[in-house]
Structure 1
Amino acid sequence: MNVARHILATLSLIPASHAMADSTSYPLTLTNCGMEVHFQSAPNSTVTVGQSATEILYALGLADRVAGTSVWFNPVLPQFRDVNADIERIADNDPSFEAVVNKKPDLVATQYEWHIGPTGSVATRRQFHDLGIATYIMPADCDTKDNATGGDGTRIAAFSPDSVYKGINELATIFDVQDAGAALVADLEAREARAIANAEGLELPEDLSAVFWFSSPELSAAPYVAGRLGAPGYIMDKLGIRNVIQSDEEWPTVGWESIAKADPDVIVVAHMDRRRYPADAVDKKHEFLHSDPVTREMAAVKNGHIIEMDAHAMSATMRTIFGLETLADALSTLSFDR
């Protein structure tokens, strides 16, 4: 069953007294990632900078309001393939400020504050606001997170899907489609509960450990691995897995010697279409793990406990719930006899 059908099915189960949410009252003012944003009416045209914002708008039935997309890690979800094919992808990675502005959007919705924020790589929020273009940053990238530390930021508290659900509900309010937002959140919450229940039924070892490898600037360089408080940390916590990386940074670099010393039971590797770094390619990750004199001696490599996951699911997005499902399903096929 695809997301759209899930939404309709979930909505049909909501009692009639609660099924219809209040309509948005404009003008609307929201505080988003520390800045007030104002809407005189629902935006007619939006440019997305980040796959998370794109897929949430599609899931809310708002594809006709999306004028352009950018920053993609994985193919769009299958149920949105047709609508996405008709929308211009203005950049696979970071778009230019001019490319975004030239689409004449009413709103720019972004996944990461480092793209559109105080020192945005695309532009600052003020630059867009000065042109009368509203901006919205997904709360999952600023709630419980300090992006002023550089790089991918540092979590000041553990990520929770509640920040994703907050973003869904706020976008639904901005566009006055609250019923679709409530149904999407209900569907994701149900999937989350099922994945956790399935994992509990596996009776995994109590001391099971893992590391999540996103990519590396060079294959032999220290990899970008998941810190303990981000989306992968949430996935591991819900499945009762210990993260061998204890940093609060979102994606710290940690040497393979240190990772090998921790010797995690499972290595989760990111699968993505992006090719910014050599290690973006998942086959290169596998090749390195099996050939490097340090990594090939790790228990996870010797035992074949290497699990692939969409890179986008490793970010704080609605796909994090899909990543939870992916890992729970994969663990059910592995043996951990010790």
Structure 2
Amino acid sequence: MIADHQGQIGHRPLPFGNNMMKDSRSLLVLLALFPTSFAVANSTEYPLEITNCGMDIRFESAPDSTVTMGQSATETLYALGLSDRVSGTSVWFNPVLPEFSEVDANIERLADNDPSFESVVNKRPELVAAQYEWHVGPTGSVASRDQFHELGIATYIMPADCDTKDNTTGGDGTRIDAFSPEHVYKGITELAAIFDVQEAGEALVADLAAREANAIAQAEALELPQDLSAVFWFSSPDQSADPYVAGRLGAPGYMMDALGIDNVIQSDEEWPNVGWESIARADPDIIVVAHMDRRRFPADDIENKLEFLHNDPVAREMSAVREGRIIEMDAHAMSATLRTIFGLEALSESLSTLSFEP
């Protein structure tokens, strides 16, 4: 199920250039997020060596051409102002963020899902940037990192997919520690260093960190019930099958922990299959359902999700369904990406519209 989990929510445009945090407290928070060597926006000194997902990689200069595998890698490079360095994209589940629609329209999409090894190599990239280790890991669905490296093509995997995760367990992998947005910020910072655009990296991280803090503060002001619980439903293999729901250590688990919500799913797997009977027994106060354009499974369609919840004899008896506490969220925000912060904002805002009176 790797790369099966992505969608779209409202959000503010990302900042560029000098639109950074101005007060000293926010600046201190920002600087704390960066490795010491990247704390100030100096130019990159090449050769640059980085350990990425357990592999040492070296850059003699900023890559001129990059192929991306995964929407997160693509949108991160766009947000850093590097669209002119992207020669091909792949693994899409929703439209690109609106602010990047114009630049994205001029870049070749090699595939909506996994690209072929040949299609990537034919673009002659200097770098392949992947969202998921599954695509370029030891048994990569596209190719292994070694296969790319033998051709002189560097690889970079977004740290959010490997820093706290064991991807050798199959499926979507198993979290060995809780996801944190700092892993997203690390990916932004390292890509900014690789391409020598540290100022853009600092501005992007500053904005996301500020939005993260604001969303948490807004939820705290709501004085929500202390025993509030939720389940995040991404999709299902078919309408009657056990759903893919969020484990406790991934991006949805982070959102729930940050806002003081208990996850009724205690698995360390990224997206375990859990039966509706078990979910109904836990009776979550809130159900968060993924919205996406992808149509791999019938339950990818949010209308099918809602129809199931309101008509299935087990699901319709849950408190969240009876009380109308169902929240729609961008599926891509449910993965460990920069959109996770948008998901946190959407969840915080939605909580203010719900009633939790007995």
Aligned to 2:237: 217
Contact 2:231 2:246 in 1 (8 A): yes
SS at match of 2:19: helix
Q: Distance in 1 between matches of 2:178 and 2:137?
A: 22
Aligned to 1:137: 157
Deviation digits for residues 214-244 of structure 1 (CA, Å, limit 9, x no counterpart)? 1111111001000000000000000000000
The offset of 1:13, in angstroms, is 6.5
TM-score, normalising length: structure 2: 0.91
The reply to whether residue 306 of structure 1 matches residue 317 of structure 2 is no
The offset of 1:2, in angstroms, is 2.0
The offset of 1:20, in angstroms, is 5.9
Q: Distance in 2 between matches of 1:219 and 1:41?
A: 50
SS at match of 2:133: coil
Aligned to 2:20: 10
Question: Which of 163, 172, 184 lines up with 2:204 in the alignment?
Answer: 184
The offset of 1:11, in angstroms, is 6.4
Q: Distance in 1 between matches of 2:355 and 2:307?
A: 23
Aligned to 1:40: 60
Give the 5 Å matches for 1:155-166. 155-166=175-186
**Residues 240 and 289 of structure 1, relative CA distance in 2, 3 Å threshold:** same
Deviation digits for residues 74-103 of structure 1 (CA, Å, limit 9, x no counterpart)? 211111111111111111111111111111
The offset of 1:152, in angstroms, is 0.3
Q: Which amino acid aligns with 1:66?
A: V
Aligned to 1:264: 284
Contact 2:164 2:178 in 1 (8 A): yes
Q: Distance in 1 between matches of 2:40 and 2:285?
A: 47
The reply to whether residue 77 of structure 1 matches residue 97 of structure 2 is yes
SS at match of 2:18: helix
The offset of 1:12, in angstroms, is 6.6
State which drifts further: 72-81 or 168-177.
72-81
Q: Which amino acid aligns with 2:20?
A: T
Q: Distance in 1 between matches of 2:302 and 2:237?
A: 14
SS at match of 2:247: coil
Question: Which of 114, 134, 138 lines up with 1:94 in the alignment?
Answer: 114
SS at match of 1:26: coil
Aligned to 1:201: 221
Aligned to 1:146: 166
Q: Which amino acid aligns with 1:2?
A: P
Q: Distance in 2 between matches of 1:12 and 1:203?
A: 29
The offset of 1:258, in angstroms, is 0.3
Q: Which amino acid aligns with 1:268?
A: V
Detail structure 1 runs of 4+ shifted over 6 Å in the superposition: 11-15
Q: Distance in 1 between matches of 2:22 and 2:219?
A: 28
SS at match of 2:129: strand
RMSD value over aligned CA atoms?
1.5
Aligned to 2:266: 246
Question: Which of 313, 318, 334 lines up with 2:338 in the alignment?
Answer: 318
Consecutive unaligned residues in structure 1, runs of 5 or more: none
Percentage of matched positions with identical amino acids: 75
Aligned to 1:123: 143
The offset of 1:8, in angstroms, is 2.7
Aligned to 1:27: 47
The reply to whether residue 172 of structure 1 matches residue 192 of structure 2 is yes
**Residues 240 and 257 of structure 1, relative CA distance in 2, 3 Å threshold:** same
TM-score, normalising length: structure 1: 0.96
Q: Which amino acid aligns with 1:336?
A: F
Deviation digits for residues 121-153 of structure 1 (CA, Å, limit 9, x no counterpart)? 111101110111000000000001100011000
Q: Distance in 1 between matches of 2:108 and 2:241?
A: 35
Consecutive unaligned residues in structure 2, runs of 5 or more: 1-11, 32-38
SS at match of 1:251: coil
Q: Which amino acid aligns with 1:214?
A: F
Q: Distance in 1 between matches of 2:226 and 2:40?
A: 44
Question: Which of 286, 308, 316 lines up with 1:288 in the alignment?
Answer: 308
Q: Distance in 2 between matches of 1:20 and 1:169?
A: 11
**Residues 63 and 13 of structure 1, relative CA distance in 2, 3 Å threshold:** farther
The offset of 1:275, in angstroms, is 1.1
The count of residues paired between Structure 1 and Structure 2 equals: 335
